[in-house]
Amino acid sequence: MTDITIKTDKNIAADEVANLLASVGWGKESDYDAATIERSMAAYPIIAYCRNADGLLIGYVSAFTDGAFSTFIGELIVRPDFQRRGIGSALLAHVVDQCRGVPVYATPFQDTEEFFLERGFRIPKRLMSVVSMRNSA
């Protein structure tokens, strides 16, 4: 990872996040509104990101933690053209470092599990499921 600095100041515009999400195939930029992205970023106690030399947002991680019993990775995203350069690893390491002594959980897509396993995460002996519910607005 050359000339990349991890930042934690939340100085990210909503349209940059929408563009990054779209770059990895998580919908189109127009699927995301600024207020929702800003609300999401404000809620996460941990956010880290990096930009390339031109200022383009190329990596982003968010995490919730109670600082005692659990930390949950929200999003870990690296722009496809910048993957496999250590950016995702550095962003994940930042969260792990910020939460020393607190278990860190991730719910990766099946095709990205190996990324986490190679960085010391493990699949629990007693398998967990992801369940979700979206309340109506």
Cβ-based neighbours of 52, under 8 Å, separated by 6 or more: 3, 4, 58, 82
Ranges assigned E (strand) in 35-131: 46-51, 57-65, 71-78, 104-105
Asked whether residue 36 is domain-assigned, the answer is: yes
Read off the CATH number of the domain in which 81 is found: 3.40.630.30
Asked whether residue 69 is domain-assigned, the answer is: yes
User: Number of structural domains, the chain?
Assistant: 1
Asked whether residue 129 is domain-assigned, the answer is: no
Asked whether residue 122 is domain-assigned, the answer is: no
Q: Taking CA 108 as the corner, what is the angle to CA 72 and CA 111, rounded to the nearest 5 degrees?
A: 170
Nearest-angstrom CA–CA distance, 91 and 50: 8
Asked whether residue 110 is domain-assigned, the answer is: yes
Question: Using one digit for the tens of pLDDT, what is the confidence trace for 94-109?
Answer: 999 999 999 999 998 8
Asked whether residue 134 is domain-assigned, the answer is: no
Percent residues over pLDDT 70 in the chain: 97
Asked whether residue 88 is domain-assigned, the answer is: yes
Question: Using one digit for the tens of pLDDT, what is the confidence trace for 45-63?
Answer: 999 999 999 999 999 999 9
The residue segments making up the domain with residue 44 are 14-117
**pLDDT (average), residues 61-70:** 97
Can you state the angle between helices 34-43 and 14-23, rounded to 10 degrees?
90
Asked whether residue 24 is domain-assigned, the answer is: yes
The pTM of the full predicted model, rounded to 2 decimals, is 0.91
